[in-house]
Structure 1
């Protein structure tokens, strides 16, 4: 249980108080009672499963010895920090990082590193593709803890959980055997995909934290009946938490850390020996973009020769500045002086996902995607209608084969623009 009597003081954090008006924070945050028994019970309810604690206890002991520890978070806009202000210091990821450092690292040390890789509006179908780039930093980082948060994003996962389980397995399979934690956030309408995704966590005996379990039942109660926090206090909008909400998620993760620390070590298990529950078809998916494309495939970019710089952005790690996502792209811009030529990708693979740019700008139009000469998909950048990374499954086969992917502007859209951000492929 987390509170003033616990191993970590969760009341104030390490930053000086801020003017709520200046940072867009409700006065509710300053007034909220984080030490009440009812709040601590709420936090206890968030622990869906402690899982097998072997990996997480090893990380905690590593931190206590003063050794470097890396906490990584991958997910959607809630992991990005949407609803928090300022986003880089009040997101649940940053606050969880602070909690872990305060709880376990030697006093005054700077041995804990934060990797935050949340991208708004994107499912695990994209997360599994960008894991190596955004979390492992192309092999330069080995996270000790990986928190995966896609419970409110994966309605758009065309693989219906295969990419999610593949991402979980990709993280578990890292050579340094990181602790993998599944986090289930929730929308204002009480919805998430916990019923689909939590069985994956139970299958591999992973630690899991559920904001749905913590919050939804008490949302329906009055104060006299046991309500601790209202939806108006918890939600910044219908999707994202306020600073109070982000704080509650961080406290829930800190509770998992504390419960694990105080529990005896479980017997070690080999999670990777288990038969996949949904599927593991995308564990080895790799990203192709303009940066590495010529080393992997034969590419004729045709009229898609420009580079789009107006991209979806995200504050990564503890940065107060945003980073453009998928900057190594191929962009089609109409040119009256040149003959229009389509984009061609020659690649041997079994599965292929296209990543393209959504946009609310009228200058963007629809593209047709052919696979081996047959129209496979129509990519409409206005289906979501905001600047956003869109993952689209082109095909999924059991066996690898040579394929030709052609991307052309749809008839009547030749005077529009279109951006191919990249591809995710499985050999």
Structure 2
């Protein structure tokens, strides 16, 4: 479950991570000088905020003392490692984890562990639902450092930042007091949601690293004007970094680690008692799926009685194999003379998020959602036409009450498939 890099000797003999054969810096035209002052200046511009350093310094000291340290990453496809080859070893998460170990661990046997929980195409609205499962591993893990990367995914967050701040607070208020770092990645068109999300970091004085601030300004300069890397070198496609792009992201995090290590300890920890900036309504969200659902709610699955095994797959931690997302689901296949009855669930809650499967398969169809007998929305699994997890908000009330949700196929789609992956609920 937890991964050690396992490839370092004593600190004096460490070998820093390098790009694999075929995508080394020397193979890039023009070559990038990773040791140049211009490169270091570019990396330095990524430090949006040093933030309160008490928790991060505590994690660094634990590593120096040979104590266990867990570094966790949660985000979208960039955190998953999209664009990196091989994805599990050249993604920014693994590389920055290795850098942390290289910088501070006593030996190759030092217990520095990696949790990587990036899921492509998903916002913090889904991240908050899966945090307990994918980062805390159901309570088995207490990370010392949590790095949150949703700056290019949260356009799809219906709560406009409330789920993001709730996720930040869920990590920040944990009993073991982990360091929380906000990471702002960027698309090829120079876009991200840093303007919306960074104020959350300023509010709680969190360390913040902006890849956008590091690279965007120099993209449009000539070499004589200060260009270090081109967009073609940094981006694998319009969304994801190349191996070199992932290395730059890791170097930006390494710079924060180094600055923090060289700084004096701040006197006080974060002030987490202050009122939220955007909203904290989803801090206590929990996952309900087929595994635990009957212990939480009254469920009549109706024709949604099968289990979908064709799911979004994600290479988690340092694994080179995919892990299916939301395997404990409810699926209707629409085959033959199958029962056409709807899915019904009744539970006590005040907020409810539906997670369903998007698909490019024509056999999947549109469903209608009713809450307390009233139609609220239709959900179309072909909005993006590839297999991944889709979160949509069904209910957001001030007070807990008993609510019934009915999911039925839309007219003309009665013989189509649809998969309910699970729910996120606040009770």
Fold conserved between structures, TM > 0.5: yes
Match of 1:122 in 2: 122
Q: Could you report, residue by residue, the CA deviation over 1:159-199 in whole angstroms, capped at 9, with x for unpaired residues?
A: 00000000000001111100000000000000000000000
CA distance in 2, matches of 1:426, 1:63: 36
**C-alpha distance after superposition, 1:101-127 (max 9, x if no partner):** 010110232310000000000000000
Instruction: Render the CA deviation track for 1:256-305: whole Å, top value 9, x for unaligned.
Output: 00000000000113422111000000000000000000111111101000
Count of paired positions: 416
* Structure 2: tracts of 5 or more residues without a match: 1-10
> CA shift at 1:249, angstroms?
0.5
CA positional deviation for 1:220? 1.1
Residue equivalent to 1:250 = 250
2:331 aligned counterpart, secondary structure: strand
Cα RMSD between the aligned structures? 1.7
Q: TM-score, normalised by structure 2?
A: 0.95
Task: Map 1:149-160 onto structure 2 (within 5 A).
Answer: 149-160=149-160
Residues 303-345 of structure 1 deviation map (CA, whole Å, 9 limit, x = unaligned): 0000000000100000000100000000011243343111000
Partner of 1:221: 221
The answer on whether the counterparts of 2:17 and 2:95 sit within 8 Å (CA) in structure 1 is no
Unaligned runs of 5+ in 1: 1-7
Give the superposition deviation at 1:377.
Answer: 1.2
Does the 8 A contact of 1:25 with 1:243 survive in 2? Answer: no
Cross-structure match for 1:392: 392
Name 1:425's counterpart in structure 2. 425
Aligned to 2:376: 376
Q: What is aligned with 2:6?
A: none
Matching of residues 27-426 of structure 1 within 5 Å: 27-28=27-28, 31-426=31-426
Counterpart of 2:22 (choices 12, 16, 20) is 20
Question: Aligned in 2, Cα 1:12/1:66: closer, same or farther, shift over 3 Å?
Answer: closer
Deviation at 1:28, TM superposition (A): 1.6
Q: Which moved more, 1:264-273 or 1:94-103?
A: 264-273
Relative distance call for 1:12 and 1:234 in structure 2 (3 A) is farther
Shift of 1:29: 9.0
State the distance in 1 between where 2:338 and 2:81 align: 44
CA apart distance, 1:390: 0.3
For residues 193-244 of structure 1, give each alpha carbon's deviation from its aligned partner in whole angstroms, at most 9, with x where no partner exists: 0000000000000000001110111111111000011100000000000000
Residue 376 of structure 1: SS of its match in structure 2? strand
SS of alignment partner, residue 394 of structure 1 = strand
What TM-score do you get using the length of structure 1 for normalisation?
0.95
Q: What's the secondary structure of 1:237's corresponding residue? A: coil
Structure 1 distance, partners of 2:192, 2:306, is 39
After superposition, the C-alpha distances for 1:386-416 in whole angstroms (9 at most, x for unaligned) are 1010000012111111100000010110110
